[in-house]
Amino acid sequence: MHIRPLAAAVSLALFAAPFAARAETVKIAFIDPLSGPFAPVGQNQLRSFQTIADLATQQKWAGEHKIEVVGFDNKASPQESLTQLKAVIDQGYRYITQGNGSGVGLALLDAVNKHNERNPGKEVVFLNYAAIDPDMTNSKCSFWHFRFDANSDMKMEALTSYMAPNQDIKSVYIIGQNYAFGQAVSRAAKEYLKRKRPDIKIAGDDLHPIAQVKDFSPYIAKIKASGADTVITGNWGADLALLIRAAKDADLKANFYTYYAVTTGVPTAMGASGVDRVKVVGNWLINTDAFKGKEIVEGYKKKYNDDYYTAQTHSSIGMLAQAIKASKSTDPVKVAFAMEGAKFTSLNGEVTMQKVDHQLQQALYIGTWSKVNGKDVKYDQENTGYGWKMEKKIDAYMAGQPTSCQMKRPGV
């Protein structure tokens, strides 16, 4: 009586074994600051990646394959990043992700290109979630690099399109970190405002050392003396939190147009003083009509008492998983080809990985720091009672920019 079911069970187990053995754990090395002044941002984003990787595994986005994200501290240094890259490659990682700093991103991109050229069969794919220097998908574009955030020119296109109709803006001060990204923001701000609002005066243009300024009051004094009614900054992390705090202490009345006021530490620094005066441009806000991603936001808050704000973690893990499933492989070359031109429904709607330059095309949003009201501002940040009210959605085709990329593909 019991022999036949047992035999059937053994037969079924033998039949299933080869298929089960194919399931792999796809490990992604997160190479970003986990110590130093930018550690709070890096730690938040590592946890965000791990949250989405767990979701992808649970919901089988990559079929039977699991996705795991492991953090490696680069101390925000390009040289330390290259040391970590070598270490993770030696450990067998075939996928890396990085976002905090285009200087680091450019160094990793060059190193990945050289490694892949010298080590066919052991290629590495770079999933860039936030290093947004335009060169990375233009003159320095690479088959091995995929960018999931909008580049700085795309964000400036959206930001200045929103600013242009506002006749109250008459004088703009630009301040940023003195490296590739900060320089790109400064260039684009001047170029795009000249095209859209030639009457606006550029009252000042300052670049400061990244992660070294502890007191921004001298910079704020210059902004105040210039008479600027508006500040544009690409600063992020501690550099933005300290800038905003200094503006608050000096009672600077100018409005701030930012790229990264959602990042850890900045909401607390702003508090009530930033209400209606601080704007942000980004690829997602939780306080939209549909509150898309609220389950992730609520779960993250409950687990970490922190805020999930980096939607690129969702699109990058999602597109990678989808490509693994589509290509029926975890091999980086096959997966990279499967990601080219792919579409994916992320937290900000349908996104497309543009084949010509591997720059994700996606909608962008402008938000204003506002008091939680339970209606259009349901979710706050850092338990401040304030959050981001959506002002405008800019469709992907409007934010898109031309590319000079001449990509070389393997085997072509």
Same domain, 230 and 269: yes
Question: Residue 143's domain spans which residues?
Answer: 25-150+293-361
Same domain, 248 and 376: yes
Q: Per-residue pLDDT for 20 more than 70?
A: no
The region of weakest confidence among 3-12, 109-118, 337-346, 387-396 is 3-12
Per-residue pLDDT, 14: 46
Handedness of CA 99, 359, 343, 95 (dihedral sign): negative
Per-residue pLDDT, 172: 98
**In the structure, what pLDDT confidence band is assigned to residue 411 with cuts at 50, 70 and 90?**
confident
Q: Per-residue pLDDT for 393 more than 70?
A: yes
The region of weakest confidence among 20-29, 33-42, 85-94 is 20-29
Same domain, 142 and 158: no
79 domain-assigned: yes
Give the DSSP H or E segment for 105. helix 102-118
Same domain, 356 and 370: no
Q: Per-residue pLDDT for 266 more than 50?
A: yes
Round to whole Å and give the CA distance between 306 and 2. 55
Q: How many CB atoms lie within 10 A of CB 309?
A: 25
Q: Per-residue pLDDT for 2 more than 50?
A: no
Which of 94, 90, 85 is CA-nearest to residue 122?
94
Same domain, 108 and 184: no
Q: For 142-193, how does the pLDDT look when each residue is reduced to its tens digit (9 = 90+)?
A: 999 999 999 999 999 999 999 999 999 999 999 999 999 999 999 999 999 9
Max CA-CA distance within the chain? Answer: 93
Count of domains forming the chain: 2
CATH number at residue 374: 3.40.50.2300
Quote the percentage of the chain above a pLDDT of 70: 95
Same domain, 96 and 111: yes
Per-residue pLDDT, 22: 79
Same domain, 146 and 256: no
Tell me the angle at which helices 237-249 and 217-226 cross, rounded to the nearest 10 degrees: 60
What is the mean pLDDT of the segment spanning 250-264? Answer: 97
Which of 255, 268, 191, 196 is CA-nearest to residue 229?
255
State the alpha helices, DSSP H only, in 166-286.
180-196, 217-226, 237-249, 266-270
37 domain-assigned: yes
288 domain-assigned: no
Q: For 328-381, how does the pLDDT look when each residue is reduced to its tens digit (9 = 90+)?
A: 999 999 999 999 999 999 999 999 999 999 999 999 999 999 999 999 999 999
* pLDDT top residue among 39 and 4: 39
Cα dihedral 340/343/345/347 (nearest 10): 50
Same domain, 343 and 222: no
Q: Per-residue pLDDT for 15 more than 60?
A: no
Same domain, 298 and 278: no
Per-residue pLDDT, 52: 98
12 domain-assigned: no
pTM: 0.93
49: tokens are: 């990646």
Cα dihedral 114/115/120/126 (nearest 10): -100
Per-residue pLDDT, 88: 98
Q: Per-residue pLDDT for 9 more than 70?
A: no
319 domain-assigned: yes
Same domain, 323 and 370: no
Q: How many CB atoms lie within 10 A of CB 248?
A: 16
Q: Are strands 278-282 and 364-371 parallel, antiparallel or unpaired?
A: antiparallel
- Average pLDDT over the chain reads 95
Same domain, 326 and 389: no
Same domain, 213 and 304: no
| Strand order through the sheet with 145-147 | 66-73, 25-32, 95-98, 125-128, 145-147
Residue 386 is classified by DSSP as E
Q: For 48-78, how does the pLDDT look when each residue is reduced to its tens digit (9 = 90+)?
A: 999 999 999 999 999 999 999 999 999 999 9
